Structure 1
Amino acid sequence: MEHSGPIEVTGTDAAGPHTQLAITMGFTAFGKKARTFDLEAMFEQTRRTAVERSRKTLEAREKEAEMNRENHFKKLVEDVEPAPYSSKPSSRDTSSRDGEDSSDSSDDEFFGPPLPPKTVGGPVCTGDEDILGPLPLPLGEGEEEEDDDDDSEDEGEEENPVLRIPDSHEITLKHGTKTVSALALDPSGAHLVTGGYDYGVNFWDFAGMDASLKPFRSLQPCECHQIKTLQYSNTGDMILVISGSSQAKVIDRDGLEVMECIKGDQYIVDMANTKGHTAMLHTGSWHPRIRGEFMTCSNDATVRLWEVENPKKQKSVFKPRTMQGKKVIPTTCTYSRDGNLVAAACQNGSIQIWDRNLTVHPKFHYKQAHDPGTDTSCVVFSYDGNVLASRGGDNTLKLWDVRQFNKLLFSASGLPTLFPMTDCCFSPDDKLIVTGTSVQRGRGNGKLVFFERRTLQRVYETDVTDASVVRCLWHPKLNQIMVGTGNGLAKVYYDPDKSQRGAKLCVVKTQQKAKQAESLTRGYIITPHALPMFREPQQRSTRKQLERDRLDPLKSHKPEPPVAGPGRGGRVGAHGGTLSSYIVKNIALDKTDDRNPREAILRHAKAAEENPYWVSPAYSKTQPKNVFAQVESDDEDWKHEPESKKRKI
């Protein structure tokens, strides 16, 4: 409700008994006429005050903007031709600080929304603009300027995805001396697992490592079989291990075995009727959505789906076939991003894709994706699930549209590969594709090559090492690139500004030196039920105990060296001083008598015959002449035998 004039508030009539009541109770204005308020005058006064404060705020901002422009111009002039400036603050600086203080105070008292910074002041044209370039417009707050810079950088990176590649820094992890043929990172990016041709699997913890970059666990899960594929499950609690054997294994984060697939019967013709693989494995992959389900492909010309809870039999079997219906060996396999499709590349150069629930006929079949007789080493789906990339053994990288699979999108050649597990991967923003190249020993460096997804043009490449690049992995959460090489190294590329955690956690830690104990300390034995006089005081610090031992003359007494010779000062020599050591040295270990024992006995035979002492004197009276038993031949014994005991010829 609007009021056009002054409002008068009236109280109780002053006449009558109210006057006496006001005097009695002490009310001075009781019954008098109330004050009048002119609302229009009050609104006008408030508006003028707000306008005045806004004008002061604008003036302060203009002064601050002018000072920013002058300081920026001075900085540019110093960069071109440095000139000495006084270190004392000028009056202009003081006024600018005062202006800032006044602007801060005025902002606190300001009513209503402030004017935008663009209306404060426009660009100032100077004569040096052609040389130094246009001066940037200073803003009221530094955060807004930084936001604009970030937006411009983001726009530049969107236009050029090469700027998003995190390769400014690198660390090198020493796996072994042989090829690193498998790499895996858990979904959180905290643990890295590497496997190689040396049958070993190393576990790396980025948060627990220091600058020494050593693994915290090493093991050989498949004995004497080369490790071909390692992959973390979607929950990160299990690792799929594919080796050169016919049985895949699943281990946990600590390296303990969870399950091992059963081996099939190799004498069964139809591989769908046996419970497991019967030949060497090639690769495997976890289901992206279902926990505990994974797939494997093998030289027995099958692709099998497994469940961790049921290791005694596979879940389903896919049998790749040629166009003539003959079986063909799959060299690699993978799931789509949603897990509904199963893709496999075969030795005849074809790529076959099945519906996960229909195992008989493939949904898509491209018969000459790569050259026949070459091993396609990798197939991978893009993050949006519409594009399939294949890395062929014919030194090519190709892109396929899953929605129109009968047509090749793009192809890139000139990418040599010497390993059957050379892979490729998409960048986290789905704009780049990464793969590695192989080289002969001593004939150059292996490279990491980046292609643009829209046109498959080579936009960037970097030298990794003087060996082949076998594995590459671009983690979407860390924004770091892991590379496995042919000389036993695993490299991690990162950028301090664009990457998160991962290798950034371990490079900042100093290498811990091994702590050398000054002396051997006796362990603390806890005896809770012993008497107080026999209890040992609890050791709170080993260092303090060592300091107390150094002050004790008995514990700090240097032990005397062993006695050399027969002994002196009541001490026994180290060897030969006691009776037992003397006997051992002079009698038991005496090897001077080298006579033949038979000759040593027979030397007493003549004396025993001439002077008998033990046996002959007992028979000298009763049997002076020795009578010996006559030994007959076997033929004579046979003649005197009875007829019943004669041998039958």
Structure 2
Amino acid sequence: MDASLQAFRSLQPCECHQIKSLQYSSTGDVILVVSGNSQAKVLDRDGFPVMECIKGDQYIVDMTNTKGHTAMLNSGCWHPKIKEEFLTCSNDGTVRTWDVNNEKKHKSVFKPRSVQGKRVIPTTCTYSRDGKLIAAGCQDGSIQIWDRNMSVHTKFHCRQAHAPGTDTSCLTFSYDGTVLASRGGDDTLKMWDIRQFKMPLNTAERLPSFFPMTDCCFSPDDKILVTGTSVKKGGGSGKLFFFYRETFEKLYEIEVTDASVVRCLWHPKLNQIMVGTGNGLAKVYYDPVKSQRGAKLCVVKTKRKERQAETLTQDYIITPHALPMFREPRQRSTRKQLEKDRLDPMKSHKPEPPVAGPGRGGRVGTHGGTLSSYIVKNIALDKTDDSNPREAILRHAKEAEENPYWVAPAYAKTQPKTVFAEVEPEDDETDKPEWKKRKI
């Protein structure tokens, strides 16, 4: 990628469905695509499909008995250690883990429940940094965490983490694995110690969020927490807010653009912040000293100039001792040579003209080589003896009467005289009843 930042390929993997989440696997060789339909897809790094999750049976009541999701997906992510495993959550009220090598069935199912034991919809899901825990934020405001190998009962649970009825848009674990940050649809950012999960460690308020996928993430050194804010059209600029993890004091804020900040990612190895906004921009923030590779590689590359097709001419080879018949005249001007090449049918790739008359050498003639065109040309348009059509029809009648060959000999004994039906005069039709009269 050069300074123009043009994509080398663009594709539409999920038809018209909105893409909710994209993530490279831990090894970077495949991409997880979570869209608005019920089937997550895995693509390789060139954009070609690797697997597609199976769709479940929507008429089964118990979601553990069906093989896949039956409603719209909300989020998904890769396992941090096992490169073949990933996680999805859906509006059917389940969180499922999958194996890339087995698209026929999920690996395990987790079903979040409300206080009354009813089904609730998970809006976001994530793995812990060591991959042993699975966390889900739900529409009733709760955060539920399971052991990856124990899918029935939750290991940690907070019922009133955020306001009920709001979509918790993001959960993320710190790099040391003890702290969980949650971005709520109630315009708050909270930080939790999962060992004491009843009360949040810190809370930041008045951070507007209009999107069900607004992110929050930790810095690579685990000291800073960053999130984006949403704005209405004409209501100012979307911002990135940076908070100290220990004290939750606001460290810094960046005005990104005059639209909402939807997604943000602080890459741990590149040490760069990628931001996606509501007006279609994707911005990358980097430090010239502390960042590595990534955007720094693109900035130093100059944009390639496209070579014009008109300047591509054949190289002139000088052969001083060639025989006169093989000697090429010395080129005076590129323009004159291009004009000459244009007139040369071989060099200008002039198409061959159509074949006149009947086809030859496997090529179709001008009138076409099909049977219908042959009939039209040779039979239907045959204008011989067109002066009197009655004579043309009856030209063999006399010969057939004198020397019958086909039909007449069969009736010679039984029907020596030909009897024709007599045509009644039209005047008699007046005496006939209505139903016998001929319709005109």
Normalized against structure 2, the TM-score is what? 0.74
Deviation at 1:407, TM superposition (A): 2.5
1:419 to 186, 211, 220: 211
**Residues 368-391 of structure 1 deviation map (CA, whole Å, 9 limit, x = unaligned):** 000000000000000000000000
**Residues 481-535 of structure 1 deviation map (CA, whole Å, 9 limit, x = unaligned):** 100000000000011111111111111222222110226769xxxxxxxxxxxxx
AA in 2 matched with 1:479: N
Say if 2:165 is the partner of 1:403.
no
Give 1:239's aligned residue. 31
Give 1:473's aligned residue. 265
5 Å-filtered alignment, 1:441-460, equals 441-460=233-252
1:217 is paired with a residue whose SS is coil
1:511 to 276, 300, 303: 303
Using the alignment, how far apart are the partners of 2:341 and 2:88 within structure 1? 66
Say if 2:149 is the partner of 1:357.
yes
* Worse-matched range after superposition: 267-276 or 499-508: 499-508
Give 2:48's aligned residue. 256
AA in 2 matched with 1:557: K
Instruction: Check whether the contact 2:224–2:242 (CA below 8 A) recurs between aligned residues.
Output: yes
Using the alignment, how far apart are the partners of 1:614 and 1:318 within structure 2? 89
Using the alignment, how far apart are the partners of 1:559 and 1:334 within structure 2? 64
Using the alignment, how far apart are the partners of 2:205 and 2:336 within structure 1? 79
1:234 is paired with a residue whose SS is coil
5 Å-filtered alignment, 1:200-599, equals 209-518=1-310, 550=333, 556-557=339-340
- Identity rate, percent: 70
Q: Which has the larger radius of gyration?
A: 1
**Residues 50-77 of structure 1 deviation map (CA, whole Å, 9 limit, x = unaligned):** xxxxxxxxxxxxxxxxxxxxxxxxxxxx
Given the superposition, is the C-alpha separation of residues 488 and 552 from structure 1 closer, same or farther in structure 2, using an over 3 Å criterion?
Answer: closer
Using the alignment, how far apart are the partners of 2:14 and 2:80 within structure 1? 25
Using the alignment, how far apart are the partners of 1:552 and 1:513 within structure 2? 22
Instruction: Check whether the contact 2:168–2:182 (CA below 8 A) recurs between aligned residues.
Output: yes
Gaps of 5+ in 1: 1-208, 523-535, 537-544, 561-607, 619-626, 638-649
5 Å-filtered alignment, 1:112-123, equals none
Using the alignment, how far apart are the partners of 2:212 and 2:112 within structure 1? 19
Which structure 1 residue ranges, 4+ long, deviate > 3 Å from structure 2?
519-522, 547-560, 612-615, 627-637
Given the superposition, is the C-alpha separation of residues 556 and 305 from structure 1 closer, same or farther in structure 2, using an over 3 Å criterion?
Answer: same
Using the alignment, how far apart are the partners of 1:255 and 1:378 within structure 2? 26
Using the alignment, how far apart are the partners of 2:242 and 2:66 within structure 1? 43
AA in 2 matched with 1:401: D
Using the alignment, how far apart are the partners of 1:485 and 1:350 within structure 2? 27
**Residues 139-160 of structure 1 deviation map (CA, whole Å, 9 limit, x = unaligned):** xxxxxxxxxxxxxxxxxxxxxx
**Residues 120-147 of structure 1 deviation map (CA, whole Å, 9 limit, x = unaligned):** xxxxxxxxxxxxxxxxxxxxxxxxxxxx
Using the alignment, how far apart are the partners of 2:241 and 2:283 within structure 1? 15
Deviation at 1:558, TM superposition (A): 8.1
1:557 is paired with a residue whose SS is helix
Deviation at 1:421, TM superposition (A): 0.2
Using the alignment, how far apart are the partners of 2:57 and 2:194 within structure 1? 36
Using the alignment, how far apart are the partners of 1:551 and 1:452 within structure 2? 67
Using the alignment, how far apart are the partners of 2:287 and 2:58 within structure 1? 50
Given the superposition, is the C-alpha separation of residues 556 and 550 from structure 1 closer, same or farther in structure 2, using an over 3 Å criterion?
Answer: farther
AA in 2 matched with 1:228: K
Give 2:373's aligned residue. none
Indicate the RMSD between aligned Cα atoms, in angstroms.
Answer: 3.0
AA in 1 matched with 2:161: A
Using the alignment, how far apart are the partners of 1:470 and 1:459 within structure 2? 20
Using the alignment, how far apart are the partners of 1:227 and 1:510 within structure 2? 32
Deviation at 1:635, TM superposition (A): 3.7
Using the alignment, how far apart are the partners of 2:302 and 2:42 within structure 1? 35
Give 2:384's aligned residue. none
Deviation at 1:557, TM superposition (A): 3.2
AA in 2 matched with 1:402: I
Using the alignment, how far apart are the partners of 1:553 and 1:442 within structure 2? 59
Deviation at 1:478, TM superposition (A): 1.2
Deviation at 1:636, TM superposition (A): 4.0
Instruction: Check whether the contact 1:549–1:556 (CA below 8 A) recurs between aligned residues.
Output: no
Structure that is richer in helix per residue: 1
Given the superposition, is the C-alpha separation of residues 551 and 333 from structure 1 closer, same or farther in structure 2, using an over 3 Å criterion?
Answer: closer
